[in-house]
Each structure stands twice: as C-alpha cells, then as structure tokens.
C-alpha cells in the first residue's frame, strides 16, 4: 500500500488550518499559527511575510527544518527531521503552502461578535 493510500493516523483540524504531512513514514500535522510563523521568521531572519512565504515554499533546507520544528502541532517532529531526505521536500513545500493559504482565505470571522464588541 502506497503512502497516498495509507490512512492518515493523526487528527487534522482543517478548520483551524491544520495540514497533514508525511515525512517518509512519519505522519505530522502542521499549522501556520501566527506565533509559530513569527518564530520561524525570526529563526530564518526573514524581513517580510513575502520573504517567509518564499523561503517556506521554495524547498530551502534551513526553512524546511525550521518549519518542521516550529509548525508541527502533532506527530514525532524529531523522528521526522532525522528521516528527512531531499525527496520529501516537495511534500513539505506543498504542506507549508496549504497551511499558509489558510490565512489568505476569505474568512470574515464572526460579524455578530464584532458588532457586540463595538
């Protein structure tokens, strides 16, 4: 059975922007939470969100390692990093892009709550 056919063993909350990622045979769930993105950005010395996005989705080694370390919300991060090979970078790039795109969706939040807060 190929990994693409193998059921993903970890819970993934897509509404929260969580994304499933296989690094070899290690399942991870990543999420591009703002605080975690700030930590990745700081580690990489990014000067803008555009720079961060480009580095995470361009299959850069340092960016991939930082993102796996800091954006993982479920799974064995250390094991995944130890098993990481160049052939896994494409899947990582796609997962990072999907997680980041969650912030770009047309989510308008809860307009009723905004009215109550005003």
pLDDT tens figures, 9-36: 999 999 999 999 999 999 999 999 999 9
> The domain containing residue 30 runs over which residues?
17-106
Q: Is the pLDDT of residue 40 over 80?
A: yes
Task: Give, as one character, the DSSP assignment of residue 7.
Answer: P
- Residue 48 belongs to some domain of the structure: yes
Residues in the chain: 118
The C-alpha R_g of the chain, in whole angstroms, comes to: 15
pLDDT tens-digit map of 67-116: 999 999 999 999 999 999 999 999 999 999 999 998 776 555 555 544 44
User: How many whole angstroms separate alpha carbon 34 and alpha carbon 94?
Assistant: 19
- Residue 80 belongs to some domain of the structure: yes
Is this prediction's pTM over 0.85?
Answer: no
Query: What's the confidence (pLDDT) of residue 59?
Result: 84
Q: Which two tokens stand for residue 94?
A: 């796609």
Number of domains the chain contains = 1
- Residue 4 belongs to some domain of the structure: no
Residue environment code for 32-43, b if the CB has 16+ CB neighbours within 10 A, otherwise e: bbeebbebbbee
- Residue 53 belongs to some domain of the structure: yes
- Residue 2 belongs to some domain of the structure: no
């Amino acid at each position: 059975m190929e990994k693409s056919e193998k059921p993903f063993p970890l819970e993934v909350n897509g509404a929260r922007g969580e994304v499933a990622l296989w690094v070899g045979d290690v399942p991870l769930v990543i999420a591009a939470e703002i605080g975690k993105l700030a930590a990745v950005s700081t580690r990489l010395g990014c000067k803008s969100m555009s720079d961060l996005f480009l580095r995470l989705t361009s299959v850069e080694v340092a960016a991939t390692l930082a993102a796996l370390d800091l954006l993982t919300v479920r799974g064995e991060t250390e094991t995944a990093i130890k098993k990481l090979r160049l052939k896994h970078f494409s899947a990582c790039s796609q997962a990072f892009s999907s997680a980041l795109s969650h912030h770009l969706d047309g989510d308008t939040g809860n307009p009723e709550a905004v009215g109550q807060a005003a």
